[in-house]
Copies of this chain bind each other. A is one copy, B any other.
Amino acid sequence: MEVESINILNYIDALVSQNLFSSFSKEELLEILKKEHYELKIYEKGQIIHLQNEICKEIDIILEGQVSVQNIIENGNVLTIGVFSACDIIGANLIYSNSNFYTMTVISTAKTTVLHMSKELILTMCKKSEKFMLSFMQAISDRSIVLADKINTISLKTIRKSIIDFLKYEYYIQKDTVIKLNISKKDFAERLGIQRSSLSRELNKMRRDNLINFDARSITIKDLKIVIGIR
């Protein structure tokens, strides 16, 4: 649980170049960032940054690395809500809410640098810059869209529908019937919130039904109708 401490000056350039802080100059930002209002930390891969039900006292801005927001269900089952990386904000939707504890677990999936900022500091910046305020509101809003989308995804009742939903999304992004998987099958199963063995079984069934082909790192859509078809 040891965390490395590092200097904000190494990251100040990266900060002002990102959308949220772009309305501040390097000097303004350093002036605003008073020692007591922020903390810069490095988390190793696999470290838990926030635990489900922990109280949220500050927001986290990811400067580099990657974190995964997961819902850990009773018997150890995992549902991955989203994966976030540089410039993403974690906890923005909690800090000003009525019920400010983490509803999910936040875990680093790579060596990650995080800037923890206090509620007061955010408020100060909102007052100083309308652009910041709007960006911050957008960050909160976007997170709620991610959650709503996830509800739509996990409301699909069969594994086959979940897989097709995933393929539709990736086909839209990758514009190719050969969908490259950049995650392991295990992570894929967690993303869908199902057992790995069940995913494997259903992929096989879909191959048998001539809908797809797949190997370790890609899925090929053989029947485009399943992707174009009604959700």
Contact = CB atoms under 8 A, between A and B. Distances in A.
Interface of A: 71, 73-74, 77, 79, 81, 92-99, 103-104, 123, 126-127, 130, 133-134, 136-138, 140-145, 147-152, 154-157, 161, 193, 230-231
A93 B140 contact: yes
B97 A142 contact: yes
22 contacts: A71-B152, A74-B230, A79-B155, A81-B151, A92-B141, A93-B140, A93-B145, A94-B141, A96-B137, A96-B138, A99-B142, A99-B145, A103-B145, A103-B151, A103-B152, A137-B140, A140-B144, A143-B144, A144-B144, A147-B148, A151-B154, A154-B155
Contacts of A161: 74
SS class, residues of chain A in contact with chain B: helix
Copies of this protein, total: 2
Contact of A138 (B97, B136, B147, B230): B97
Contact of A145 (B97, B133, B148, B155): B97
Nearest to A148: B103
A75 to B, nearest CB: 9
A138 B97 CA distance: 5
Contacts of A74: 156, 161, 230-231
B155 A71 contact: yes
Given A151-B151, A154-B151, A93 B126 contact: no
Contacts of A230: 74
